[in-house]
């Protein structure tokens, strides 16, 4: 058998060692400052996205519990924008918009929110 293929027991042993509390504690302690900096930056972006969606919805007289769902749509698009660009991002946004459309959100608002990320969904649905 090739040296590149690990047996199930070897994989399990390696996984078990990775789950050691001392190992996790050391890694988290060493990376904590960087992790806090990264999450601080992400929370800032999250605040801006949620504010933009809320301002848009309230600007057109749209209040209520469904605002939260539109913010969730925006967060999902933001997550995809961190992994994809261009046509792939637009297609991923369509998939997400389809999901929220089926949940009762309005296409007009989904299309508008997508523009916050530079995505043109005007040809959708």
Residue 60 lies in a domain: yes
Give, as one character, the DSSP assignment of residue 36.
Answer: H
Rounded average pLDDT over 12-32: 88
C-alpha–C-alpha distance, residues 82 and 85, integer Å: 8
Domain count for the chain, please give it: 1
Q: What pLDDT score was predicted for residue 2?
A: 58
Give the structural domain span for 75: 8-115
pLDDT tens profile 31-71? 999 999 999 999 999 999 999 999 999 999 999 888 999 99
> pTM score > 0.85 for this model?
no
Residue carrying the six token digits 């605040």: 47
Whole-number Cα distances in Å, 101 to 21, 54, 64, 90, 104: 44, 18, 17, 16, 5
Can you tell me which residue has the tokens 């933009």? 52
Inside any domain, residue 1: no
Question: What is the overall mean pLDDT for the chain?
Answer: 93
- Asked whether residue 53 is assigned to any structural domain, the reply reads yes
124 lies in a domain? Answer: no
């Amino acid at each position: 058998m090739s040296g590149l293929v690990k047996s199930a027991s070897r994989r399990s042993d390696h996984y078990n060692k990775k789950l050691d509390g001392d190992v996790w504690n050391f890694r988290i302690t060493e990376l904590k400052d960087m992790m806090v900096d990264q999450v601080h930056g992400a929370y800032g972006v999250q605040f801006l996205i949620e504010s933009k969606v809320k301002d848009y919805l309230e600007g057109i007289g749209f209040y209520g519990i469904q605002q939260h769902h539109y913010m969730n749509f925006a967060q999902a698009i933001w997550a995809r924008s961190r992994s994809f660009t261009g046509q792939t991002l637009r297609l991923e946004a369509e998939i997400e918009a389809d999901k929220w459309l089926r949940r009762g959100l309005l296409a007009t608002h989904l299309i508008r929110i997508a523009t916050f990320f530079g995505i043109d969904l005007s040809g959708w649905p």
